[in-house]
Amino acid sequence: MPTPTGPIPMSRSKSSQRWLKEHFSDPFVKKAQSEGMRSRAAYKLEELLQRDRLLKPNMVVVDLGAAPGGWSQQVRRQLGDSGRVLALDILEMPPLAGVEFLHGDFREETVLSQFEAMLGGQPVDLVLSDMAPNKSGMDAVDQPRMMHLAELAMDFADNHLKPGGAFLIKLFQGVGFDDYVREMRRRYEKVVIRKPEASRKRSPEVYALGQGKRPQIK
């Protein structure tokens, strides 16, 4: 059995060092630091918003799983002073000018009710979800957790997104992915899968975009 100074900690240490080296040499990390963005993920969203022309003035945008705030920051930057950006996360998020944030777990009815009160009955034009579970490193555990969060986000969009609205969500490719996309096609006129440049190539993440929410599920 390895001792605390044996090969397992050494292996983890080398892996951590590799990740840190890759992270700080990442051009999108450097860009985020130089432009004052909260995360490199902001550039994934920037590409998706521009490619599919998802934002228009005065839109109401909901960002699920918003912390640390890169996506909300990007939306507010592109919307300027118009519209509303409402963000929700189980993690705390430092304030962002022009972003309304609720700290809580939207799986809880009380939190969802608070969030609906913030909306004040306004129809939502765009729902974003960059949510992901804390990774265990085991696909058999991580993938079901990811799909559960994705299903919750879809339910939220079903209940709050206006007809004609759009839904953009991060998914991991794996068990349940094809079924989920099939369900999106029942709900939206157009569904596409995107892999933005800022998404690391080795990552199983992709982004599913549903546009033109149908008045009724097919």
Is residue 195 flagged as an active site residue?
no
Please enumerate, as own/partner, the contacts of 139-143 that have beta carbons within 8 Å and a separation of 24 or more: 139/174, 142/172, 143/172, 143/174, 143/175, 143/176
Which tokens belong to 155?
A: 């339910």
| Residue tagged active-site, from 31, 170, 213, 218 | 170
Which tokens belong to 133?
A: 């579970």
Question: What are the start-end ranges of the H helices in 80-138?
Answer: 109-119
Report d(CA 206, CA 197) in Å as an integer.
Answer: 11
Question: What are the start-end ranges of the H helices in the chain?
Answer: 7-25, 27-35, 41-51, 70-79, 109-119, 139-160, 177-187
Residue 63 is labelled as binding a ligand: no
Residue 81 is labelled as binding a ligand: no
Report d(CA 18, CA 2) in Å as an integer.
Answer: 22
Report d(CA 75, CA 12) in Å as an integer.
Answer: 37
Report the amino acid identity of residue 153: A
Residue 105 is labelled as binding a ligand: yes
Residue 71 is labelled as binding a ligand: yes
Residue 210 is labelled as binding a ligand: no
Would you call the peptide bond into 57 cis, given omega within 30 degrees of 0 as the criterion? no
C-beta neighbour count of 90 within 10 angstroms: 14
List residues with catalytic annotation.
Answer: 170
Numbered residues of the known binding site? 69, 71, 89, 105, 130
What residue numbers does the annotated binding site for S-adenosyl-L-methionine cover? 69, 71, 89, 105, 130
